[in-house]
Structure 1
Amino acid sequence: MAELTDVTYNEDSIRSLDWREHIRLRPGMYIGKLGDGSSPDDGIYILVKEVIDNSIDEHMMGHGRTIEVKISDHKVVVRDYGRGIPLGKVIDCVSKINTGGKYDSRAFQKSVGLNGVGTKAVNALSSSFRIQSVRDGKTKVAEFERGELVKDEPLQESNQRNGTTTVFVPDDTIFKNYHFIPEFLENQIWNYVYLNAGLTIHFNGQKYLSENGLKDLLSRKIAEETMRYPIIHLKGDDIEVALTHGNDYGEEYYSFVNGQYTTQGGTHLAAFREAVVKTVKEFYAKEKKDFDGTDIRASIVGAVAIRVQEPVFESQTKTKLGSINMSHDGQSVRNFVVDFLKKHLDNFLHQNKDVAEALRKRIEQSERERKDMAGIKKLANQRAKKANLHNKKLRDCRFHFGESKELEKEALTTLFITEGDSASGSITKSRNVELEAVFSLRGKPLNCFGLKKKVVYENEEFNLLQHALNIEEGLEGLRYNRVVVATDADVDGMHIRLLLMTFFLQFFPDLVKNGHLYILETPLFRVRNKKETIYCYNEQEKQNAMRKLGKNPEITRFKGLGEISPEEFGKFIGDNIRLEPVIMGKTEQNIQKVLSYFMGKNTPERQQFIIENLKIEKDIVEEVYA
């Protein structure tokens, strides 16, 4: 205690940060986690969103029907054709905190955000930032570097159309080794056009627009042949919903507030799930049917979008709608959503008997499957509960997803699924015990393609894995934000990856669709001399490293994860971790078709593909040196 009293604490200890310093020192407060672009909620995508949101708000107010977006590896350009920022306030709007047009509710009704922070955060976190406004024949341009004004051009005459152009490059000292993944950007763009009728976005030369809103969203997310009935699409004042049932296990939802994709749901999504169960249950009660809520929601694919004034989100990134004082024109958001569905969904089912009949059959199928699993499920859960007391397969971490209000910490909660004891040993010794857990497989897991879900309970390893993740009843209890498959980069390792991906896609597709499943990339080679060590992830990187280090460097080929020492492994799963997200693209909408092709019996189509694409070592070497 004596040592503590020696610390000097006086007026000089108190420090005030300006807006730019505070954003750069605590970026997580403004954009959530940083990341390298391998997750759809990484900071670089939040920066893009914050800029486009301003253009969307202009469109919602009736100004500008087109937005142009160009994104290369590191540079982002957004041009809208709205009113343009008032020329005398261009610099203030992007560099003075709590400055913006959205505080004037007469100018912006039901906008995406009201915090006046978005573009300031983009400015502060960009190595270069340029803003240009064109308004009534005049233009104003300002340029910044990491939030510092470096160029303030005087007003000039202009013959361009009114609007705002924003150009920025995320700061690579903050977003280390970042890269934009096209699929994530494309999903962002699609969401904007689904939610804004009449809006066209030109993204990297492609044209995006939607005529049917959330109905188009579900059509893109679920293949028509897997729908149990045509999409139910309902619209009202400030609310739109769409839903259908498919054949996949789990529940799949997309929720939006004022055009913002609330990836973590919130009040409106909870109300939507409640309202669907309540309305459907009451509808079939007239037929003397008493369905369970879990059977009604099983295999559902739904979307809900609402617009409210001054929404309260649980963080600046606006991924979850809060529940405190939330209302829509004086009515609570919950009651607003429930009352809408109670009236309009009930009317729809009465008016469309064929849809009501198909829905009833889907619910009854889920009911049969649930009862069929009841016995084995009870026994398996009892075994899992005993195993959890001394679960040698799981080396858990201290913090879990959903247990902390710190977005950066929550985002980094990770479960590594490893192959064998040697690999799990290296990761276990080098991991961050606060945030990273390890689940060890004893060998190749079962190929579960085409099997019923009860195999998850009958197979001890699958059952323990589902309990480790806590996803038996859905994603609400998910304990880790990132589920990372960590296998050797050889034929057996690739096979294990496929078997695990089959398991998740077959029984927990929502885990994959919500962006939680990744593949760990580990180096294949270590190239070093006495001064420098370079880790290489492919043959091309190895050749580059050899040229850089000069004559006769030492080259080590890592054949398996167990060969990498814990000290070295720590370098690959820390700040420099390379993760490859498992992304459900448009071509993979019908999960069963994809799994049948890769994991079904040896089909002629797969044989032919292998024959046509087989490469011998000579071809690979020629490609590397080409």
Structure 2
Amino acid sequence: MAVKKEQTTGNAKGKGLAAKATEIKAKAAASAKAKTVKTVKAGTKKTAGAKVSRAAKVAGPAKAAKAASSAKTAIAPAKPAASKSSGSAVYDESKIKTLSSLEHIRLRTGMYIGRLGDGSNPDDGIYVLLKEIIDNGIDEFIMGNGKHIEIAVKDGTAKVRDFGRGIPLGKLVECVSVINTGAKYNDDVFQFSVGLNGVGTKAVNALSSHFRVLAFRNGEYAEAVFTRGGLVSQKKGKLKEKMKDGTYVEFTPDADIFGEYQFNLEFIEKRIQNYAYLNTGLNLHFNGKSYVSQHGLFDLLSEEIGEDGIYPTGYYKGEHLEFAFTHTSGDKHYGEEYFSFVNGQFTSDGGTHLSAYKEGFLKGVQTFFKKDYRSEDIREGITAAVAVKLKNPVFESQTKNKLGNSDIRTWIVQEVKDAVEDWLHKNQEAAKKLEIKIISNEKLRTELNAVKKEAREAAKKIALKIPKLKDCKYHLEDGIFGDKSTIFITEGDSASGSMVSSRDVMTQALFSLRGKIENMYGKKRAAIYKNEELYNMMMALGIENDTQGLRYARIVIATDADFDGFHIRNLLLTFFLSYFEELVTSGRVFILETPLFRVRTKKDTLYCYNEKERDQAVTNLGNQSEVTRFKGLGEISPKEFGQFIGEDIRLVPVSISVLKAVPQVLTFYMGKNTPERRDYIMKNLIDDAG
């Protein structure tokens, strides 16, 4: 195994800030997404917000995790319009406000931690808060201080203890509550830090209903307790018992900001595993388990790929650059798969360091073989992990998903080229297997191009535009507007009918299937071009050549909540995981959740997503209420449907635990009938009779 797992057992100023935080809290609560059950007042158009409440893991495939408990939220009356006599609201000096730094964090949370969410997505804000605290311990380790970090998450509260130098006691309060205060601006103290902006811990403090920090240095300690960024108490003194230097932080994310959230321990475990891979020798304890790696990214690739590599994993580690790579056979993985990191931060959208790595890898292979192989033939089937340490990283957002430094390209390209060429010289057998793979890719590409040509010619005869696609105006390449672009893949014209008139034509597109698509498990990529419907869907998504041409930020599978709908969902996931796996691993594929029941009276209407919510709604509205069961999306009227694909849309992200599990899962669920699958079905069969 790549990662070893072992079982182990206030003052006036503060009150003033707390008062301001209470004022901001009311605004934040008003803008937060409402709870899961929607309430609609008769005669109004406004609806309460819905929360994404479940996470999907590829285990069925994409079997949703157990939903978080939900609660009903009533709609507040709309604010009265501005006086007609004045024409608009008065704009004068009284309307100008100055917020403190922490107030600004609470009011404009997305600027600091990205999305809010409820914990069902690994990029949700509660995980960003935890990351910011752990990062401080990682930074200490990078600078040679402390080889151990303890992490615990239970009942919505996170606790982190590092054994670094500890925050200077006299500056403890400022370091966790005053923006632009910290040592990470000093290169002598921190050289390869992720959190260079001095905001991370302050954001955690401001967005937590409870925040406690202790620093231990040379037998003394300092402690400070905050509520929503407001100082509640602080004290200093000498330690009664000997304790190692370091910092302890515990925090509880504020429900007024994050709503009804729940930590998914698997998401946290995955992040901690990555920390171990990226920091060889660092021991991280999480909820009683220990994570440590001795071989860095080599271990990461071994964990992800297992025995699927066609040659032993290549590995290189320099002073500022580390990478590992291998190729898999076409029947295991199509396309390319990368895990990229900067100063220990997972950059899900890559960036300049990843682009430079790809270029360097291409040049290294071409130089070694002394042949001008094409980049797509060299990289098809590759899985690689890349990590770089930079003194001044420039990220394209506060959440650090993509690196923007342009000055690093030249040296990374050259270092990767030299390292790859050297590794191939030292591993001649692996080099031969790589060349066979490249030649095979070249042959398959040539054959595929011939099939593509025939498919394009056939498509031209059908229509000038893609059949069954109702496109939107903005696409993924259109900046901030494109970030909201979504394509819904629906089950037949009936299901899409409700969406056509209720969708946002600027950012929401529809592609209608005729019904159940072909099971593509175990078929070569050329089979796509012989299937008109799948070919049209691929063209609609813009992924014919590679996933870089993807036209939409989100691919949403919208099928009925019945057995046929679930089967179509699995067939689509099989298609994506077989040929376009990186769409899933990059977080582009989602499942749309729509209500199963409508419970209403003459005054109120409640939409419920499961039987428990339905029963609660009947209790709230009374036994005289009317209950409707939606069997298919087509049964929901366009007027009703708009709210379920609007701002309050419920999307379940499809994720993968490890790449090597994908072929096993697809074989079990979508391959030929086997005694094992038959036994599984019999054991899990539900008798709906009666």
> For the residues of structure 2 that align with 1:40 and 1:479, how far apart are their CA atoms?
23
477-486 or 215-224: which moved more?
477-486
Q: Which residue of 1 aligns with 2:341?
A: 256
Q: Does 1:371 align with 2:456?
A: no
CA distance in 1 between partners of 2:298 and 2:531 (Å): 38
Q: Distance in 1 between matches of 2:131 and 2:456?
A: 43
- Distance in structure 1 (CA, Å) of the matches to 2:623 and 2:233: 47
Shift of 1:410: 5.7
Q: 2:364 aligns with which of 279, 293, 313?
A: 279
Q: Post-superposition shift, 1:498? A: 0.9
Q: Aligned-pair distance for 1:59?
A: 1.2
Give, as a single letter, the amino acid of the residue that structure 2 aligns with 1:356: A
Q: How does 1:473-512 map to 2 (within 5 A)?
A: 473-512=545-584
Aligned to 2:686: 615
In the TM superposition, residue 240 of structure 1 has moved relative to its aligned partner by: 0.8
SS of 1:581's equivalent?
strand
Is 1:305 the equivalent of 2:387? yes
Structure 1 CA distance for aligned equivalents of residues 155 and 459 of structure 2: 46
**What are the Cα deviations for residues 98-146 of structure 1, in whole angstroms up to 9, with x where unaligned?**
1111011101111113111111122222233222222222322222222
Tell which deviates more after alignment, 457-466 or 175-184: 175-184
Helix, strand or coil at the partner of 2:151:
strand
CA contact (8 A) 1:384 1:463 kept: no
- Rate the CA distance shift 1:577–1:203 in 2: closer, same or farther, 3 A: farther
Amino acid at match of 1:501: L
Q: Which moved more, 1:308-317 or 1:520-529?
A: 520-529
Amino acid at match of 1:321: L
Q: Show the counterpart of 2:141.
A: 59
TM-score, L = length of structure 2: 0.82
Corresponding residue for residue 215 of structure 1: 298
Contact 1:416 1:438 in 2 (8 A): yes
Whole-angstrom CA distance in 1 between matches of 2:449 and 2:112: 46
Tell me whether 1:460 sits opposite 2:460 in the alignment: no
Check whether the contact 1:401–1:413 (CA below 8 A) recurs between aligned residues.
yes
After superposition, residues 160-559 of structure 1 pair within 5 angstroms as 160-224=243-307, 226-247=308-329, 248-285=333-370, 289-324=371-406, 326=407, 333-381=408-456, 390-404=465-479, 406=480, 412-530=484-602, 532-559=604-631
Shift of 1:13: 4.3
CA positional deviation for 1:552 = 4.1
Contact 2:486 2:555 in 1 (8 A): yes
Report how far residue 195 of structure 1 moved.
Answer: 0.6
Helix, strand or coil: the match of 1:178?
coil
Amino acid at match of 1:372: E
| Distance in 2 between residues matched to 1:206 and 1:495, nearest whole Å | 37
TM-superposed CA distance for 1:375, in Å, is 1.5
Please give the TM-score of this superposition, normalised by the length of structure 1.
0.90
CA displacement at 1:530 relative to structure 2? 4.7
How far apart are 1:250 and its partner, in Å? 0.7
More helix per residue: 1 or 2?
A: 1
Q: In the superposition, relative to structure 1, how do residues 528 and 150 fare at CA in structure 2: closer, same or farther (>3 Å)?
A: farther
Contact 1:223 1:590 in 2 (8 A): no
Which consecutive unaligned segments of at least 5 residues does structure 2 have?
1-83
- Asked whether the 8 Å contact 1:40–1:515 carries over to 2, the reply is no
**1:3: how far off?**
11
SS in 2 for 1:256: strand
What SS class does the counterpart of residue 130 from structure 1 fall into?
A: strand
CA distance in 2, matches of 1:126, 1:431: 36
Q: 1:295 corresponds to which letter in structure 2?
A: D
- Are 1:83 and 1:162, in contact at CA under 8 Å, matched by a contact in 2? yes
Q: Which region of structure 1 is more displaced relative to structure 2, 119-128 or 545-554?
A: 545-554
Deviation at 1:481, TM superposition (A): 2.6
Q: Partner residue of 2:75?
A: none
Deviations 1:421-477 (A, max 9, x none): 122122233333343322211211111112111122222222222222222333333
The Cα RMSD (Å) is: 2.5
Tell me which of 183, 187, 191 is aligned to 1:101. 183
Q: Within 2, Cα distance between the matches of 1:344 and 1:616?
A: 60
Q: Structure 1 stretches of 5 or more lacking a match?
A: 327-332, 622-626
Q: Report the residue type matching 1:442 in the other structure.
A: R
> C-alpha separation between the residues in 1 aligned to 2:296 and 2:233?
42
- Please give the alpha-carbon distance, in whole angstroms, between the structure 1 residues aligned to 2:202 and 2:555: 33
Conserved? CA contact 2:132–2:195, under 8 Å: no
Q: Name which structure has the greater RCO, CA cutoff 8 Å, separation 6+.
A: 2
Q: CA offset at residue 342 of structure 1?
A: 2.1
1:566 aligns with 2:638: yes
1:67-95 alpha-carbon deviations (Å, 9 max, x no partner): 12222363222221212111121111121
Q: 1:44 to 1:574 in 2, by over 3 A?
A: farther
Aligned mates of 1:410, 1:76 — CA distance in 2: 35
Deviation of 1:202 after TM superposition, in Å, equals: 1.4
Q: Which residue in 2 is equivalent to 1:624?
A: none
Which residue number in structure 2 is paired with residue 595 of structure 1?
666
Distance 2:119 2:507 in 1: 20
- State the one-letter code of the partner of 1:533: T
Q: Distance in 2 between matches of 1:216 and 1:387?
A: 50
Deviation at 1:239, TM superposition (A): 1.2
Conservation of the 8 A alpha-carbon contact between 2:215 and 2:246: yes
Whether the aligned pair in 1 keeps the contact of 2:362 and 2:417 (CA below 8 Å) is: no
Rounded to whole Å, the distance in 2 between the matches of 1:458 and 1:380 is: 7
Counterpart residue type for residue 320 of structure 1: K
